[in-house]
Amino acid sequence: MKNKQLVPYGVIRSALRKLWMWSWQRKEAIANSKVARGKYRCSHCGKLFGIKEIHIHHIIPVGKFITWDMFITNLFCAPDGLEALCEPCHKLAHDDKKLDKKKKIK
């Protein structure tokens, strides 16, 4: 009989991120950026967007993998550790972090 394989890291990580999508912390961050019915303000550029155009961004990165406890603590941080960003600002924020990592490696 073959050994049963443990649940892969990526499957657990993905499940936790799906759970976070329904968290009170994320819902509160969305509510904090709401300015009118169906309108949300990007905390970087200040423009108004619809709910489908807003991304909730972790100010302190969740990280790849330290320990499960640290990953969960970082993922489910307090709402003041989150910010609402439009798609272009969210992409820019992640690109800046990638550049910072490359600078540290060199």
Q: What total number of domains does the chain contain?
A: 1
Report pTM. Answer: 0.79
Is residue 46 included in any domain, yes or no? yes
Q: What integer pLDDT is reported at residue 66 of this predicted model? A: 77
Is residue 1 included in any domain, yes or no? no
The mean pLDDT value for 37-66 works out to: 91
Q: How many CB atoms lie within 10 A of CB 62?
A: 19
Is residue 18 included in any domain, yes or no? yes
Q: Are 33 and 41 in contact (CB under 8 A)?
A: yes
Task: Summarize pLDDT for 2-30 with one digit per residue, the tens.
Answer: 556 677 888 888 999 999 999 999 999 99
Is residue 2 included in any domain, yes or no? no
Task: Summarize pLDDT for 29-48 with one digit per residue, the tens.
Answer: 999 999 999 999 999 999 99
Is residue 25 included in any domain, yes or no? yes
Q: Are strands 82-86 and 34-36 parallel, antiparallel or unpaired?
A: unpaired
Is residue 3 included in any domain, yes or no? no
Is residue 57 included in any domain, yes or no? yes
Residue 73 is part of which domain span?
Answer: 9-105
